[in-house]
Chain A
Amino acid sequence: MKIEVKNLTKSYGDNTALDSVSFTLNDPKIYGLLGRNGAGKTTFMEILSGHLLPTKGEVLINDEKPFDNRKITESICLIKEGDNFKKDLTVKNVLKIYSYFYPNWDQALANDLIKEYNLKLTAPIKTLSKGMESALGIIVGLASKAPITIFDEPYIGLDAAARKRFYELLLSEYEKQKRTIIFSTHLIDEVSLLFEEVLILQEGKLILHEEADTLRHNTCAVSGSIEQVEAFIEDKEVIDKKELAGMMTAYIYENMEHAKKSGLAVEGVPIQELMIYLTEQKGA
């Protein structure tokens, strides 16, 4: 499904959560939506899912607005950090309700995953631990088979092994059937290999939208004496730089192979670090 975001703005009083954000997601890919706390990620995902109205601008999904639009919302499944389900329902009830709402619901997958994550069907939501509630969110998100599935930090309380299993499940479901998956997380190192494209929000603005491997190819850290590095980066876009004992490391947008020809020491920059350098508050 095609997602078009046009000048999307959301304000809460004097606070601007999203500031004229525009981009288009055409294909069913796995997208990483990254940014610091308060960057506007959750607000964006709630507008996309039709849970919130924008202040200005619009989101169009296959040319239609999602808000109060059943035809669109039944193809979007948003799994949030917590409070996805009513506390008094049982696990079984939750699955039943979601199976009615999502036309592509995969009950067999839900059953398998319930067993795999050791959930009891008769347990009320309020008796589940944080990790178990997160597991249920993940199960619902995967089994929904919604053409747009959104995970917003879906794994509070899940241990490393359970998270790893989630990544494997996400990947195998995606391999079986391509769908748009938008994944927002702070544990970037764990998942960045799953992303095909990366979007970074900062203070309500979209500051980067790029293919993940292109980013790895076209960003690098160059190190050498201060004069050498300064001379090399003069005409380049510099993300960040630091100095120690006459040596300098600069993080720049530049093809790694080109940079290597300069004779300086060149290293790649993982997406997690790139995000940090890009969004660090300067001089604060």
Chain B
Amino acid sequence: MAQKLDENRPIYLQIKEYVEDSIINETLKAGDRVPSTNEFATFFNINPATAAKGVNELVYEGILYKRRGIGMFVTENARQILLAKRKEEFYEHYLLPLKDEAKKLEISNEQLVEMIYREGNELEN
């Protein structure tokens, strides 16, 4: 997991992704408390309001819920929602750039598919 934030991208998005990744790889499970905005601010040395913006978007999207005076917690369905969302984004974020680069290098779709299987076989062996 990245310990340093990328100054080129909105910081609140990176905080959001940090929590999302933790839920997807199950470091944070349903019902777990997520760090407070101050804890995020101290860890990453960022403005607490920026951290709050990322966390609040997750509340809005049903990934986290707020318990007054106690903190933010992961909802029951959080992981399912995130997996569905990430799968949808997978094509745009990973396959399109891959296809663009392949096109530039004159790699055909057939060759691409073949590479995917080749890599898979190596991993299985």
A residues near B (Cβ < 8 Å) are 29-30, 167-168, 171-172, 174-175, 189, 192-196, 212-214, 216-217, 256, 263, 267-271
Q: How many residues of B contact A (CB 8 A)?
A: 20
Show 30 A/B contacts (Cβ-Cβ < 8 Å), sorted by A. A29-B47, A29-B49, A30-B47, A167-B45, A168-B42, A171-B45, A171-B47, A172-B42, A174-B48, A175-B38, A189-B7, A193-B11, A193-B44, A193-B47, A193-B50, A194-B45, A194-B46, A194-B47, A195-B47, A196-B50, A213-B11, A213-B50, A216-B7, A216-B8, A216-B9, A217-B10, A267-B8, A268-B6, A268-B7, A271-B7
Q: What 6 pairs across the A-B complex have the smallest Cβ distances? A: A268-B8, A270-B7, A193-B46, A213-B10, A217-B10, A175-B38
Write out the residue numbers on chain B whose beta carbons fall within 8 Å of the beta carbon of A270: 7-8
**CA–CA, A212 and B38, complex, Å:** 18
Within 8 A of A (CB), among B71-110: 100
Q: With a CB–CB cut-off of 8 A, which chain A residues contact B53?
A: 213
Return chain B residues, CB-CB under 8 Å to A168. Answer: 42, 45
> Does the CB pair A216–B47 fall under 8 Å?
no
A171 and B10 form a contact (CB under 8 A): no
Cα of A263 to Cα of B97 in the assembled complex, Å: 10
B91 to chain A, nearest CB (A): 14
Contacts of A213 in B (CB 8 A): 10-12, 50, 53
Which of chain A's residues has its CB closest to B46's CB? A193
Residues on the B chain within 8 Å of A174, using CB: 48
Closest chain A residue, CB of each to CB of B47:
A196
Q: How far is the CB of B102 from chain A (nearest CB, A)?
A: 15
Q: Is residue B41 within 8 Å, beta carbon to beta carbon, of the partner chain? A: yes
Say whether B112 faces chain A, with CB atoms less than 8 Å apart.
no
Please give, as numbers and ranges, the residues of chain B lying within 8 Å of A271 by CB-CB distance: 7
Q: CB-CB < 8 A to A30: which residues of B?
A: 47
| Nearest-Cβ distance from residue B110 to partner chain A, whole angstroms | 23
Q: State the CA gap A167–B8 with chains docked (Å).
A: 20
B5 within 8 A of A: yes
How far is A7 from B122 in the complex, measured between Cα atoms in Å?
Answer: 69
Contact between A175 and B42 (Cβ–Cβ < 8 Å)? yes
| Interchain CB contact (< 8 A) of A175 among B6, B10, B41, B44 | B41
| Inter-chain contact B11/A171, CB cutoff 8 Å | no
Complex Cα distance, B44 from A194, in Å, reads 10
A272 (CB) vs chain B CBs: closest residue: B7
Q: How many Å lie between the Cα of A263 and that of B6 in the bound state?
A: 22
Q: Are B49 and A196 in contact (CB under 8 A)?
A: yes
Task: Identify the interface centre among B9, B38, B53: most chain A CB within 10 Å of its CB.
Answer: B9
Instruction: Find out whether the CB atom of B50 lies under 8 angstroms from the CB atom of A171.
Output: no
Most chain A CB neighbours (cut-off 10 Å) among B8, B12, B44, B46: B8
State A141–B46 Cα separation when bound (angstroms): 20
Taking a contact as CB atoms under 8 Å apart, the answer to whether A216 and B41 are in contact is no
A263 to B96 CA separation, bound complex (whole angstroms): 10
Chain A residues positioned under 8 Å from B10 (CB to CB): 213-214, 216-217
Which of A171, A214, A267, A268 has a CB less than 8 Å from the CB of B41? A171
Q: How far apart are A35's CB and chain B's nearest CB, in angstroms? A: 19
> How many whole Å from A230's CB to the nearest CB in chain B?
21
Within 8 Å CB of A267, what residues of B? 8
Q: Which of B44, B46, B47, B48 has the most CB of A within 10 A?
A: B47
B48, A175: Cβ atoms under 8 Å? yes
How far does the Cβ of B26 sit from chain A's closest Cβ, in whole Å?
28
Contact of B45 among A29, A193, A212, A263 (CB under 8 A): A193
Cα distance A171–B41 in the bound complex, in angstroms: 8
Whether B8 pairs with A269 at a CB distance below 8 angstroms is yes
| Highest count of chain A CB atoms <10 Å: which of B7, B9, B53 | B7
Name the A residues within 8 Å of B7 (CB-CB).
189, 192-193, 216, 268, 270-271
Distance between A197 CB and nearest chain B CB, rounded to angstroms: 9
